[in-house]
Amino acid sequence: MSERTSWYTPAAVWRSLGLARHNWPGRFTVLLMTILTFLVAQPIFSGHTFAENLVSLWISIVLLAALYAFRSARFYFVIALVLLVPSLGGRIALLFTSNPTIENVSAISSCLFLAVTVIALISRLFIVKSVTLDTISAGICAYLLTAVAFAYSFAVVELRHPGSFSKELFERTAGHGAPLLASFHNFLYYSFVCLTTTGFGDIAPVSGGARSLSVMESVFGQLYVAILIARLVSLQVAQSMMKERE
């Protein structure tokens, strides 16, 4: 009986996948799963007020998961905590009222919080000496959170200068004082198009601020893959060579 039940333990399952104990899911793997769940749920629930409130709650969970991931890095943790307070506070307030000023503050603080998180993740990737599942998860998290951070920055540009994009996807809708909650899935879509330099052409930046941010994100996306992912691959190769010599 004990031998049979041992196959159902997490350690046994992980060994059956050919993964060592140091590759067990860590805090960055948990953060990655949270982000992926949010990205899948965001477009599905768009357009429904109650569902948008749930998505807003899930965004808060993503921000809290990011803060938890850096609980051991005191410098980044303190800065992120300061930025998280107005972000979550504004998000809660927007559940009861549609105020463009509150939405603006919440979007800016969320963007800055995610930017700090991305910087912290990238800094970690540059100092690691070995590649694990959690390291790979951290790299993917930095890439995905970059797109979310730029999505907030695009929303801020549209809030401050309506009509900064060519399509009517970001116009104000009934029940919302500003376009962020109603159209955030569109900002997120456009952000990923810029980050991956896909360039579908269905949405184009019109204002100077929107164009500058679009160029910055496209350049960052290319450099990230060329530098950060190449570093992880080289570390993995070096790690494999060391094991073969042993």
CA separation for the pair 113, 159 (Å, rounded)? 19
Residue 7 has what pLDDT?
52
Encode pLDDT of 194-219 as tens digits: 999 888 888 889 999 999 999 999 99
Encode pLDDT of 47-70 as tens digits: 566 556 666 677 778 888 888 877
Inform me whether the pLDDT recorded for 244 exceeds 60: yes
Query: How confident is residue 223, by pLDDT bands cut at 50, 70 and 90?
Result: very high
Q: 122 versus 72: which is more confidently predicted?
A: 122
Range of the structural domain that residue 119 is part of? 2-245
pTM metric for this prediction: 0.81
Contacts of residue 32, defined as CB under 8 A and 6 or more positions apart, other chains included, come to 137, 140, 141, 144
Apex 99 CA angle, 95 and 104, nearest 5: 100
Encode pLDDT of 147-198 as tens digits: 999 999 998 998 888 888 887 666 554 444 444 666 788 888 899 999 998 8
The whole-number average pLDDT for the span 91-120 is 86
Count of the separate structural domains present in the chain: 1
Query: How confident is residue 109, by pLDDT bands cut at 50, 70 and 90?
Result: very high
Q: 42 versus 102: which is more confidently predicted?
A: 102
Task: Kindly report which listed range (1-5, 33-37, 53-57) carries the lowest average pLDDT score.
Answer: 1-5
Inform me whether the pLDDT recorded for 108 exceeds 50: yes
Least Cα distance to 136 among 10, 32, 7 occurs for 32
Inform me whether the pLDDT recorded for 83 exceeds 80: yes
Inform me whether the pLDDT recorded for 25 exceeds 80: no
